A and B are shown apart, each in its own frame.
Chain A
Amino acid sequence: QVQLVQSGAEVKKPGASLKVSCKAFGYTLTTYYTHWVRQAPGQGLEWMGIINPSGISRTYAQKFEGRVTMSRDTSTSTVYMELTSLTSEDTAIYYCAREAAAQDEGLDVWGQGTTVTVSS
């Protein structure tokens, strides 16, 4: 069964760093792009960035440039999203999602989401 399974909920202090994992089942990670999208409380969906199938190329939303790093471990079929210098505004549900290599079919499989709370 094709699915993305994310790591569990996190509580972080302001200024700390966060690393969320997203493990792929039922398909080959190296044939799909992986996106990260977040939703803050009461807000809409916000696109954060993407890592390409080879894991070599990444594109980040300008808002997160310098604070976010997306990486991939093909041996475990896992993609990671690391976010540094956390503030309360980073409190959100973080989702990973896959996109086919042709990039013309939308984000068809999503992880279950990881709830992140940033609080002192």
Chain B
Amino acid sequence: EIVMTQSPATLSVSPGERATLSCRASQSVGSNLAWYQHKPGQAPRLVIYEASTRATSVAARFSGSGSATDFTLTISSLQSEDFAIYYCQQYHKWPRTFGQGTKLEIK
């Protein structure tokens, strides 16, 4: 199975600053990569799909980039509501696999 590795495990950033989260696949997944935001007590929320396409109603400060094995989620100016755990997931091959998550916390 494709192993997804996210870094860092925890990222401490101040509101208004930029956050950059990384996701690496153990083999190429093309552009078949999604990012999800997950807050405690809530269902995960789709943020980015096809590596760089923002999901419906997602703020423009979220952007995704990358292809093949290396991907990045960037949040340009962090708002209070952005602090959460972010997961990448590949949908290139079965089984669909998630990364272990990056916790984005307030500095």
B32, B38, B50, B55: the one contacting A108 at CB < 8 Å is B55
> Residue A113 at the B interface, CB < 8 A?
yes
> Residue A66 at the B interface, CB < 8 A?
no
Q: Mark B30-66, 1 if CB is under 8 A from A, else 0.
A: 0010101010000111101110010110000000000
> Residue B91 at the A interface, CB < 8 A?
yes
The bracket for how many chain B residues form the interface is 20 to 34
Interface size on A, residues (CB 8 A): 23
- Segment with Cβ contacts to A, from B20-28, B73-81, B95-103: B95-103
Determine whether the beta carbon of A95 is less than 8 Å from that of B49. no
- Residues 55 to 112 of chain A near chain B (Cβ within 8 Å): 59, 61-62, 95, 97, 99, 103-108, 110-112
B45, B53, B87: the one contacting A45 at CB < 8 Å is B87
B5 CB, min distance to chain A CBs, angstroms: 12
> Residue A50 at the B interface, CB < 8 A?
yes
- Chain B residues with CB under 8 Å of A107's CB are 34, 36, 44, 46, 89
Determine whether the beta carbon of B45 is less than 8 Å from that of A110. yes
Determine whether the beta carbon of B49 is less than 8 Å from that of A106. yes
A50 to B85, CA, bound (A): 24
Determine whether the beta carbon of B46 is less than 8 Å from that of A47. no
B32 CB, min distance to chain A CBs, angstroms: 7
Give the interface of A toward B (CB within 8 A).
35, 37, 44-47, 50, 59, 61-62, 95, 97, 99, 103-108, 110-113
Give the interface of B toward A (CB within 8 A).
1, 32, 34, 36, 38, 43-46, 48-50, 53, 55-56, 85, 87, 89, 91, 94-101
